Structure 1
Amino acid sequence: MSEKIPVGISACLLGDKVRFDGGHKRCTFATDELAPYIHYEPACPEMAIGLPAPRPALRLIDTAESKTALAFSNGRGEPVTEKMQHYSEQRVANLQHLCGYIVCAKSPTCGMERVRVYQPDSNNNRKEGVGVFTRELMRQIPWLPVEEDGRLQDAPLRENFVERVYTLHEFNALWQSGLTRGKLIAFHSRYKLSLLAHSQAEYRELGRFVAAIESWSSLEEYAHEYRQRLMDLLKHSATRGNHTNVLMHVQGYFRPQLSSRQRQELASLIDHYRQGLQPLLAPITLLKHYMSEFPDPYLAQQRYFEPYPEALRLRYGR
């Protein structure tokens, strides 16, 4: 998976001066750290429907039909809801190839959550809205990893997003290469430890789904359902407890080969991680050392040990 991964992004997050005030909201993680691995497909929905920069700010407002509309905050001009909705539907229909999307937080067009929704003719508002474009994006492509720039400052959320992007990229590549039951089962096998770290209950449920693959007459329909279940599972942030269970499980593979001192050292390192005294990288590094000394075909294929490029340094502080 050396080719760059297609990811959509709000244009202002790349530093483009497209915001209502003529400025931008450059996201350094996206532009500096992630960019070497990503082919960005930027868009500013507001500019795309013909609005200039600078321009009066837009806001979401309640309507009598219990829906939200998009209008200028200064109360002038015509509402642009229909124009934005039409653009969003047309644009998103051509984004099925993407492996992720980074949107601008709080935006009435691009915000993913907690966007202010105003009462008509007042500044009373509630933080319960979703931007018009992002709402359509998540409706049409519900399996797509979508994250806001602000939330990407949180280390666990940042790692979770990147892992989902890389997982979907591999799955899409598998699909494009030609679906077979064998390929799908092999893919699932490669991700078993990763899935276990995210949700033990859903890991078991997805395992049962994979075991029933032969009962599906359409492999295309099965792949659609598997992709949705896979990406839903990975939305759960991997917890320290689940990681500890995975590490202890992997530790068992090396018990026959390790000396008593080595086993104690590994067990102690895993426990220190469990207590928050060591980052996840520490026990994983030692396990990868033993994997090179005592090769195991099952462990060698597991994406858990390298779910994304190590140069991103996403496990260094966890």
Structure 2
Amino acid sequence: MNSQSASKPKIAISACLMGAEVRYNGGHKASRLCSQVLGNYVECVPVCPEVAIGLGVPREPIRLVGDLRQPHAVGTLNPEHDVTRLLADYGQRMASELGDICGYVFMQKSPSCGLERVRVYHANGNLQDGGARGIYAQAFCARHPSMPVEEDGRLNDPILRENFLTRVFVYAAWQAMLQAGLSRQGLTDFHARYKYLLMAHNPVQYKALGNLLGRSDPSDPNELGPRYFKALMTALAQCATRRTHSNVLQHLAGYFKRVISREDKQEMQHLISQYRHGIVPLVVPLTLLKHHLRQHPDPYVAQQVYLQPHPENLSLRNAI
């Protein structure tokens, strides 16, 4: 079976989600997932941009005002107190300093850290239709467009949580490969391991990336690698569905059609069907598939990251 690296991936997390009392009112927004669960499997780096730029605790709240496409972050009581540039500069600075992280969990609805639908007001105080991204988050993400990012509230959805953490561990594996030295063979081997994970998330891009590797100049992996990885992370950002997971399970089950009994085949097909119709979670047919793999080892199947893209004890596939 695929095994994860012994070292934990490093992710940044809004400090208030880790229980730090850094919010404008002196409180926090501790998330059990962030402060307790994830810490067992990833190294968490807490960041609060508002405190980092010198705003005190407690402090006057800030909000976004002006153009939805380029709002300003200003004080709610003193609109002359504009911290837009400070937050943007800090976002760019942290994008450089946190070059070794593999993901980021942002505080939702925050004018500094929110990823989407952050409230934006007119200068007269009226709320605008639509929303924007927080100033710090916008500056940070612009420097790392392929990095897995998510808001804390969305991680309550088991499908989004599994998708985010899958991408974190893929990002970590890619960074480890870059540190070892990118080669054409290494890139080919990497793609082979992630083939079925990619198929589950985006069947169209699965074919496109295979074609990209097949037709590209083999002499320059340093040019091909970034193109491949950007497309891979874009593809994985699309959540897998019961239909696409079922398709992958069928492909993997096909490797055992000549070595397991008729009854075992029927059981495998029955569980895949039950999963596809929402009767059992993904872990059920996967467990049976792994059982057959232990009984009938296949090196190609065993290397597939799809079988275990994140630590098993996170139990992420028990809920999808």
- Which is worse superposed, 18-27 or 90-99? 90-99
Other structure's SS at 2:174 match: helix
Q: TM-score, normalised by structure 2?
A: 0.96
Q: 1:150, CA displacement in angstroms? A: 0.3
Q: Which residue of 1 aligns with 2:85?
A: 82
Partners of 2:24 and 2:129 in 1: CA distance: 21
**Does residue 134 of structure 1 match 2:137?**
yes
Identity within the alignment, %? 41
Q: Which residue of 1 aligns with 2:197?
A: 194
Q: Judging changes above 3 Å, is the alpha-carbon distance between structure 1 residues 104 and 268 closer, same or farther for their aligned structure 2 residues?
A: same
Q: 1:299, CA displacement in angstroms? A: 0.1
Q: Which residue of 2 aligns with 1:39?
A: 43
**Does residue 263 of structure 1 match 2:265?**
yes
Kindly report structure 1 stretches of 4+ aligned residues shifted beyond 4 Å. Answer: none
Other structure's SS at 1:7 match: strand
Q: 1:220, CA displacement in angstroms? A: 1.9
Q: Which residue of 2 aligns with 1:295?
A: 297
Give per-residue Cα distances to partners, 1:205-229, cap 9 Å, x unaligned: 11111113435x5422222111111
Give per-residue Cα distances to partners, 1:165-213, cap 9 Å, x unaligned: 0001011001101111111110100000100000111111111111134
Partners of 1:123 and 1:300 in 2: CA distance: 58
Partners of 1:147 and 1:81 in 2: CA distance: 22
Spell out the pairing of 1:163-178 with structure 2 (5 A cutoff).
163-178=166-181
Q: 1:96, CA displacement in angstroms? A: 2.3
Q: Judging changes above 3 Å, is the alpha-carbon distance between structure 1 residues 74 and 227 closer, same or farther for their aligned structure 2 residues?
A: same
Other structure's SS at 2:43 match: strand
Partners of 1:173 and 1:124 in 2: CA distance: 45
Q: Where do 5+ consecutive residues of structure 1 fail to align? A: none
Partners of 2:315 and 2:243 in 1: CA distance: 21
8 Å contact from structure 1 (residues 181, 213) kept in 2: no
Q: Which residue of 2 aligns with 1:6?
A: 10
Give per-residue Cα distances to partners, 1:267-313, cap 9 Å, x unaligned: 11110111111110010000000001111111010001110110000
8 Å contact from structure 2 (residues 119, 127) kept in 1: no
Q: TM-score, normalised by structure 1?
A: 0.96
Partners of 1:81 and 1:33 in 2: CA distance: 33
- Which is worse superposed, 87-96 or 160-169? 87-96
Between 1 and 2, higher relative CO (CA 8 Å, sep ≥ 6) is seen in 2
Q: 1:94, CA displacement in angstroms? A: 2.0
8 Å contact from structure 2 (residues 22, 28) kept in 1: yes
Q: Which residue of 1 aligns with 2:33?
A: 29
Other structure's SS at 1:102 match: strand
Other structure's SS at 2:161 match: helix
Q: Which residue of 2 aligns with 1:154?
A: 157
Q: Which residue of 1 aligns with 2:107?
A: 104
